């Protein structure tokens, strides 16, 4: 079977556990879960815009991608994906419960420094080695018995913290609707072309010779004289799109994201393919939207969601080809959800 | 082409720019052996919902999946349940030729049957430029098409089931094929392909009776297959006892979790 043509420079995203401080907006992260690290800090989207189209409840942050382009206007550029995870809103092949926003800033802006941020390793190391008391910052060998995630140096500070607000916040972690937080690390996908044998004819001759050897050894199967049609009646139809998807994913099975601006998405099913006429044009500048990146179903393994309604085949995100901007607002972009057809044909 | 996302330093300080020099080295190294030669088994990362349920151990047997007719798209699911007991056998390798402007292109088509001689059988076919790739691909497709075969006794219920549980008929076109239980030692009296499949499924003895224009090989084979599939559809007396209508694995766990997790994903219990 021929391999589907893919743009060669696809970047693959993987999740990695990371220190929380590195996932704040100073470091322009690409991340999954937790709280969004906003880029433009002033003109944030209104809560009304972040509501699920089906149930009108607030959406939860799923992931964000820091994807800058060459223009000076888009020196900083982030794309945010929000979703509503209620089972009733997660419909097959419909993306109503998703919201995507894009934000961008030039290098010189009033929120961030002109120079790249320096990672303060020293600060990280000390906090890592042993837990610190949340009140005074000293060594905290005691922990809150209820939530087990807050540490104290002694009963005095524990009482103090409890009175001044921990009582209300305690245990919030478990009831938090947010997804677990990870960093997205990008790597270039190894091009498959380099692995293919270049000389087709020579390879074919080798294969024919190998086949002949098998025939002579009597290893071509006991049904070598049975017509092919009879055997075919016992076989299932192969889902070629899905097989191709699996073949490409198999090179790096843990990938959760594929980035290839203006490339082609890797489809998981032959139904519900995003057609150029179904992708709406950019509301700001009226130009078309192009494929930017897609989220893979492997991400669901890391979200630790117990509910079974949360499922997708692949989430394909399309953004304005000009990456246009109006008044430093967060611009809505289009997302297409493709599900794996689960009914038996 | 795409705007070279991995271009260093061009636009942006983040993970794809160069502002993360110290990070790049640490990138994906933690806890995974990278760059090690070709590792034999990369751990399976499921892509479908069924795959995730299986990997988390929420589905106990393969039969649950069959019971609800959920399509299996990942062969690792079959490996998970039946892995070590599956035996594969190459039934046929044939070269197929395609005419192109530059002459003929030869590819190889491989038919592989897979079964555990204990009630499961599958047949896969794959075409590829290389013989080995075709065989590998056919094995995977055979695993995806594994179906259960029910076995029963001819007479006394002594020893293990060895034949079809009852007379079942499959029909396709004008051909109707009837599978009839046979006493031990009869062997399978049938056309070569279904005989092979029945053997690999664990049926040792069976009579077949065919009617209609059995010369139409396609219909004959399909009818036999339909008959085998009916072994599980037939309501035998031992199944007369009324059984509670079960819930699909998806529903079963959704209810359980909706009850224990208060308030996160909303109580959406379907009746």
Q: Chain B residue with minimal CA distance to A74? A: B11
d(CA A310, CA A85): 6
Q: Do A14 and B28 touch (CB under 8 A)?
A: yes
Residue A272: which pLDDT band, with cuts at 50, 70 and 90? confident
Average pLDDT over residues A71-76: 84
Q: Do B5 and A246 touch (CB under 8 A)?
A: no
A positions 210-249 inside 8 Å of B (CB): 210-211, 214, 219-224, 226-236, 238-239, 242, 245-246, 249
Alpha carbon of B239: minimum distance to chain A alpha carbons (Å): 25
Alpha carbon of B183: minimum distance to chain A alpha carbons (Å): 26
- Number of cross-chain residue pairs from A and B with Cβ atoms under 8 Å apart: 238
Q: Supply angle C-alpha A336, A338, A343, rounded to 5.
A: 150
pLDDT surpasses 90 at A106: no
Residue A2: which pLDDT band, with cuts at 50, 70 and 90? very low
d(CA B171, CA B226): 7
Mutate to test the interface with A, among B1, B4, B5 (most CBs of A within 10 A): B5
Q: Do B92 and A223 touch (CB under 8 A)?
A: yes
Angle of helix B217-229 relative to helix B192-201, nearest 10 degrees? Answer: 20
pLDDT surpasses 70 at A279: yes
Q: Chain A residue with minimal CA distance to B26? A: A185
pLDDT surpasses 80 at B54: yes
Q: Do A307 and B2 touch (CB under 8 A)?
A: no
Tell whether ipTM is more than 0.85: no
**Proportion of chain B above pLDDT 70, given as a percent:** 64
pLDDT surpasses 80 at A307: no
* B30-50 confidence digits (pLDDT tens): 434 344 444 455 788 999 888
Q: Is the minimum CB–CB distance between A300 and chain B shorter than 8 Å? A: yes
Q: Count how many Cα atoms sit within 13 Å of the Cα of residue B234 in the half-sphere of its side chain.
A: 21
Mutate to test the interface with A, among B9, B92, B122, B255 (most CBs of A within 10 A): B92
Q: Is B243 exposed, middle or buried (0-12, 13-18, 19+ CB in 10 A)?
A: exposed
pLDDT surpasses 50 at B262: no
Average pLDDT over residues A122-130: 52
* B201-240 confidence digits (pLDDT tens): 888 888 877 777 666 555 655 666 667 667 777 666 766 7
Residue that is written with structure tokens 């959760």 in the block: A256
d(CA A294, CA A291): 8
* A132-150 confidence digits (pLDDT tens): 777 777 777 888 887 777 8
Residue A79: its pLDDT value, please?
92
Q: Supply angle C-alpha B152, B154, B156, rounded to 5.
A: 95
Alpha carbon of B156: minimum distance to chain A alpha carbons (Å): 32
Average pLDDT over residues B179-185: 87
Q: Which one has a higher pLDDT value, B160 or A126?
A: B160
* A326-340 confidence digits (pLDDT tens): 777 888 899 999 988
Residue B97: its pLDDT value, please?
86
Q: Supply angle C-alpha B195, B200, B205, rounded to 5.
A: 55
Under 8 Å between Cβ of B75 and B144: yes
**Proportion of chain B above pLDDT 90, given as a percent:** 6
Under 8 Å between Cβ of A61 and A82: yes
d(CA A182, CA A16): 6
* A15-36 confidence digits (pLDDT tens): 998 887 788 888 888 999 888 8
Query: Which positions in chain A touch B95 (Cβ < 8 Å)?
Result: 208, 211
Q: Is the minimum CB–CB distance between A21 and chain B shorter than 8 Å? A: no
Tokens of A305: 């969601």
Average pLDDT over residues B93-122: 85
Give the CA-trace dihedral at A18, A20, A24, A27, to 10 degrees.
-40
Query: Which positions in chain A touch B177 (Cβ < 8 Å)?
Result: none
d(CA A297, CA A327): 35
Query: Which positions in chain B touch A177 (Cβ < 8 Å)?
Result: 264
CA–chain centroid gap for A88, Å, is: 22
d(CA B211, CA A322): 68
Query: Which positions in chain A touch B4 (Cβ < 8 Å)?
Result: 9
Under 8 Å between Cβ of A134 and A161: yes
Under 8 Å between Cβ of B80 and B87: no
**Proportion of chain A above pLDDT 90, given as a percent:** 16
* B75-84 confidence digits (pLDDT tens): 999 999 988 8
Residue A317: its pLDDT value, please?
93
Q: Considering only CA atoms, which of A51, A22, A44 is closest in space to residue A103?
A: A44
Query: Which positions in chain B touch A239 (Cβ < 8 Å)?
Result: 73
Alpha carbon of B33: minimum distance to chain A alpha carbons (Å): 13
> pTM value?
0.74
Q: Considering only CA atoms, which of A317, A331, A292 is closest in space to residue A104?
A: A331
Q: Which one has a higher pLDDT value, B248 or A243?
A: A243
d(CA A303, CA A310): 10
Q: Chain A residue with minimal CA distance to B123? A: A235
Out of A9, A186, A298, whose CB is closest to B1?
A9
Q: Do A234 and B197 touch (CB under 8 A)?
A: yes
Residue B4: its pLDDT value, please?
35
Out of B18, B69, B124, whose CB is closest to A235?
B124
Query: Which positions in chain B touch A259 (Cβ < 8 Å)?
Result: 5
């Amino acid at each position: 079977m021929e391999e589907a043509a893919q743009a060669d420079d696809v970047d693959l995203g993987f999740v990695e556990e990371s220190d929380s401080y590195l996932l704040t907006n100073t470091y322009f992260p690409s991340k999954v879960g937790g709280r969004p690290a906003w880029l433009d800090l002033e003109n944030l989207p209104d809560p009304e815009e972040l509501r699920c189209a089906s149930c009108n409840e607030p959406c939860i942050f799923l992931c964000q991608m820091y994807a800058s382009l060459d223009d000076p206007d888009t020196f900083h550029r982030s794309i945010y994906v929000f979703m509503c995870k209620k089972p009733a809103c997660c419909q097959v092949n419909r993306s109503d419960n998703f919201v995507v926003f894009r934000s961008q800033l030039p290098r010189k802006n009033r929120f961030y420094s002109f120079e790249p941020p320096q990672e303060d390793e020293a600060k990280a190391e000390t906090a890592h080695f042993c837990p610190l008391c949340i009140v005074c910052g000293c060594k905290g060998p005691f922990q809150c018995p209820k939530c087990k995630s807050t540490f104290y140096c002694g009963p005095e500070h524990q009482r103090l913290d409890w009175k001044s607000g921990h009582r209300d916040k305690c245990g919030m972690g478990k009831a938090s609707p947010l997804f677990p937080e990870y960093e997205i690390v990008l790597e270039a996908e190894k091009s498959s072309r380099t692995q293919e044998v270049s000389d087709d004819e020579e390879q074919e001759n080798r294969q024919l010779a190998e086949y002949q050897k098998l025939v002579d050894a009597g290893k071509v199967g006991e049904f070598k004289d049975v017509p092919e049609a009879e055997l075919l009646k016992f076989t299932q139809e192969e889902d070629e799109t899905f097989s191709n998807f699996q073949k490409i994913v198999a090179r790096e099975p843990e990938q959760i994201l594929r980035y290839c601006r203006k490339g082609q998405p890797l489809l998981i099913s032959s139904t519900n393919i995003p057609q150029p006429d179904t992708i709406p044009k950019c509301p700001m500048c009226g130009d078309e939207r192009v494929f930017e990146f897609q989220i893979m179903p492997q991400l669901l393994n890391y979200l630790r969601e117990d509910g079974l309604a949360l499922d997708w085949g692949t989430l394909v995100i399309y953004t304005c080809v000009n990456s246009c901007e109006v008044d430093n607002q967060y611009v809505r972009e289009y997302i297409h959800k493709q599900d794996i057809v689960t009914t038996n044909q | 082409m795409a705007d070279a996302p991995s271009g260093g330093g061009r636009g942006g300080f983040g993970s794809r720019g160069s502002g993360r020099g110290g990070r790049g080295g640490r990138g994906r190294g933690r806890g995974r052996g990278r760059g090690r030669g070709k590792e034999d088994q990369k751990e399976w990362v499921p892509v479908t919902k069924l795959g995730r349920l299986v990997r988390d151990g929420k589905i106990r047997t393969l039969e649950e999946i069959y019971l609800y007719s959920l399509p299996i798209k990942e062969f690792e699911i079959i490996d998970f349940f039946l892995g070590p007991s599956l035996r594969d056998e190459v039934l046929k390798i044939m070269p197929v030729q395609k005419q192109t402007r530059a002459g003929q292109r030869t590819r190889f088509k491989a038919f592989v049957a897979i079964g555990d001689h204990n009630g499961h059988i599958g047949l896969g076919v794959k075409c590829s430029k290389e013989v080995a790739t075709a065989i590998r691909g056919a094995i995977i497709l055979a695993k995806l098409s594994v179906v259960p075969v029910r076995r029963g006794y001819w007479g006394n219920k002594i020893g293990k089931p060895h034949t079809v549980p009852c007379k079942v008929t499959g029909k396709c076109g004008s051909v109707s094929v009837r599978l009839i239980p046979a006493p031990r030692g009869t062997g399978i009296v049938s056309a070569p392909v279904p005989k092979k499949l029945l053997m690999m499924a664990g049926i040792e003895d069976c009579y077949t009776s065919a009617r209609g224009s059995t010369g139409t090989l396609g219909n004959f084979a399909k009818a036999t297959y339909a008959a085998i599939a009916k072994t599980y559809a037939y309501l035998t007396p031992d199944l007369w006892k009324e059984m509670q209508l079960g819930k699909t694995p998806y529903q079963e766990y959704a209810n359980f979790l909706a009850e224990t997790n208060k308030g996160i994903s909303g109580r959406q219990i379907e009746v």
